[in-house]
Structure 1
Amino acid sequence: MNYTLRLAAALAAGLAVPAAAQDTAPPKPITVSGSVGLVSDYRFRGVSQSDENLAVQGGFTIAHESGVYIGTWGSNLAGWGTFGGANMELDLIAGYKFPVGGGTLDVGATWYMYPGGFDNTDFIEPYAKLSGTLGPASLTAGVAYAPKQEALGSWYLNGTSAANGVYDRPGDKNDNLYVWGDVAAAIPDTGLTAKAHIGASKGNKGLGPFATSVAPTGEYVDWMLGADYAIPTTPLTLGVAYIDTNISEREAAYLQPSFSKGQDGTGTIAGSTVVVSLTAAF
Structure 2
Amino acid sequence: MRTTLVGLSLLAAFAAAAPALAEDAPAAPASDFTVTGGATLVSDYRFRGVSQTNTHFAMQGTLGVSHSSGFYIGTWGSSIDDYISAGSDQEIDLYAGYKKTINGTTIDGGVLYYFYPGNAKGSTTDFVEPYLNASHTFGPIGAKIGMNYAPKQHALRCDYDVRCAGKAREDNLYTYAELSGAIPGTGVTVTGHLGESWGRSYLTNGLKDYTDWSLTAAYTWKALTFSVAYVDTDFKKGEITSGDPTFRNIGKAGVVGSVGVAF
TM-score (norm 2): 0.83
Counterpart AA for 1:270: G
Asked if 1:64 is matched to 2:67, the reply is yes
Cα separation, 2, equivalents of 1:280 and 1:158: 44
Match of 1:244 among 229, 232, 242: 232
Shift of 1:30: 0.2
TM-score (norm 1): 0.78
Deviation readout 1:180-216 (Å, 9 max, x if unpaired): 01222122221211111010000134xxxxxxx2221
Q: Tell me the SS of whatever aligns to 2:239.
A: helix
- Cα 1:269–1:138, aligned 2, differ >3 Å: closer, same or farther? same
Counterpart AA for 1:280: V
- Cα 1:127–1:25, aligned 2, differ >3 Å: closer, same or farther? same
Cα separation, 2, equivalents of 1:153 and 1:274: 30
Cα separation, 2, equivalents of 1:86 and 1:79: 5
User: Contact 1:95 / 1:107 at 8 angstroms: preserved in 2?
Assistant: yes
Cα separation, 1, equivalents of 2:219 and 2:99: 27
Deviation readout 1:117-165 (Å, 9 max, x if unpaired): 2562100000001011011122211011100001111322359xxxxxx
Counterpart AA for 2:139: G
Asked if 1:219 is matched to 2:209, the reply is yes
Once the two structures are superposed, the pairs formed by residues 17-166 of structure 1 within 5 Å of their partners are 27-81=30-84, 83-117=85-119, 118=122, 120-157=124-161
| Higher RCO (CA 8 Å, separation ≥ 6 residues) | 1
Alignment-derived partner of residue 194 in structure 1: 190
Alignment-derived partner of residue 12 in structure 2: none
Counterpart AA for 2:256: V
User: Contact 2:60 / 2:79 at 8 angstroms: preserved in 1?
Assistant: yes
**4+ residue segments displaced more than 6 Å:** none
Q: Work out which of the two has the higher radius of gyration on C-alpha atoms and give 1 or 2.
A: 2
Alignment-derived partner of residue 264 in structure 1: 246
User: Contact 2:81 / 2:88 at 8 angstroms: preserved in 1?
Assistant: no
Asked if 1:172 is matched to 2:199, the reply is no
Q: Tell me the SS of whatever aligns to 1:251.
A: coil
Asked if 1:275 is matched to 2:256, the reply is yes
Deviation readout 1:33-89 (Å, 9 max, x if unpaired): 1221011000000000001000001111100111110010000011532x1143000
Shift of 1:265: 3.0
Cα separation, 2, equivalents of 1:236 and 1:196: 21
Cα separation, 1, equivalents of 2:114 and 2:123: 11
Query: What percentage of aligned pairs have identical amino acids?
Result: 42
Counterpart AA for 1:89: E
- Name the one with the larger helix percent: 1
Deviation readout 1:166-193 (Å, 9 max, x if unpaired): x963x61011110001222122221211
Q: Tell me the SS of whatever aligns to 2:232.
A: strand
Alignment-derived partner of residue 223 in structure 2: 235
User: Contact 2:86 / 2:123 at 8 angstroms: preserved in 1?
Assistant: no
Counterpart AA for 1:195: T
Counterpart AA for 2:128: I
Counterpart AA for 1:135: G
Cα separation, 1, equivalents of 2:68 and 2:179: 26
Cα separation, 2, equivalents of 1:61 and 1:155: 36
Cα separation, 2, equivalents of 1:203 and 1:66: 36
Structure 1 unaligned spans of 5+ = 1-23, 160-166, 206-212
Tell me the matched-pair count. 234
**Alpha carbon RMSD of aligned pairs, Å?**
2.0
- Cα 1:32–1:119, aligned 2, differ >3 Å: closer, same or farther? farther
Cα separation, 2, equivalents of 1:168 and 1:141: 33
Asked if 1:181 is matched to 2:180, the reply is no
Cα separation, 2, equivalents of 1:104 and 1:55: 31
User: Contact 1:79 / 1:260 at 8 angstroms: preserved in 2?
Assistant: no
